[in-house]
Structure 1
Amino acid sequence: MYDPTVFENVKVAFENHVYDLDNIERKINIINRTDRMDFSIIKRDFSIEFVLSDKPAVSAEIIIEASLEELAAEILETPGKNPGCTLQLKFQKDVMDVPSECKNIELALKQIWEGDITIMQHVSFEYGHLEQNYVNTTFLRFQQKINEDNISEIEDFLASVIESLELLHHI
Structure 2
Amino acid sequence: MFDPTIYDNLKVVFEGALYDLDRAGRILITGRDDLVNLATMSRSFVMQVEKPENATCVAKMELSSTLVDFASELRRMRLADEVPGSLLTLSFELPERMVPQSPALDEHFQAVWGEVADVVHERLSPFEPNPEQRKREETPDGMYRITLYFKGKIDEDNIEDVVPLLEHFITSLETIEDVGNSR
What TM-score, normalized by structure 1, do the two folds share?
0.90
Measure, in 1, the Cα distance between the counterparts of 2:62 and 2:88: 6
**Contact 2:127 2:139 survives alignment (8 Å):** no
3-state SS, counterpart of residue 56 of structure 1: coil
- More helix, by proportion: 2
Q: Which residue of 1 aligns with 2:102?
A: 102
Gaps of 5+ in 2: 129-136
**Contact 2:87 2:154 survives alignment (8 Å):** yes
Q: Which residue of 1 aligns with 2:85?
A: 84
CA RMSD of aligned residues (A): 1.9
3-state SS, counterpart of residue 15 of structure 1: helix
Q: Which residue of 2 aligns with 1:122?
A: 122
Measure, in 2, the Cα distance between the counterparts of 1:91 and 1:45: 18
**Contact 1:95 1:101 survives alignment (8 Å):** no
Measure, in 1, the Cα distance between the counterparts of 2:149 and 2:175: 19
Q: Which amino acid aligns with 1:137?
A: R
Measure, in 1, the Cα distance between the counterparts of 2:120 and 2:138: 22
Report the count of equivalent residues. Answer: 169
**Contact 1:44 1:67 survives alignment (8 Å):** yes
Deviation (angstroms), 1:126: 3.4
- Aligned match of 2:158 in 146, 150, 153? 150
Q: Which residue of 2 aligns with 1:59?
A: 58
Is structure 2 residue 147 aligned with structure 1 residue 139?
yes
Measure, in 2, the Cα distance between the counterparts of 1:121 and 1:170: 18
- More strand, by proportion: 1
Gaps of 5+ in 1: none
Q: Which residue of 1 aligns with 2:20?
A: 20
3-state SS, counterpart of residue 92 of structure 1: strand
3-state SS, counterpart of residue 56 of structure 2: strand
CA radius of gyration, larger in: 2
Measure, in 2, the Cα distance between the counterparts of 1:7 and 1:130: 45
**Contact 1:87 1:145 survives alignment (8 Å):** yes
Range that drifts further, 146-155 or 53-62: 53-62
What TM-score, normalized by structure 2, do the two folds share?
0.84
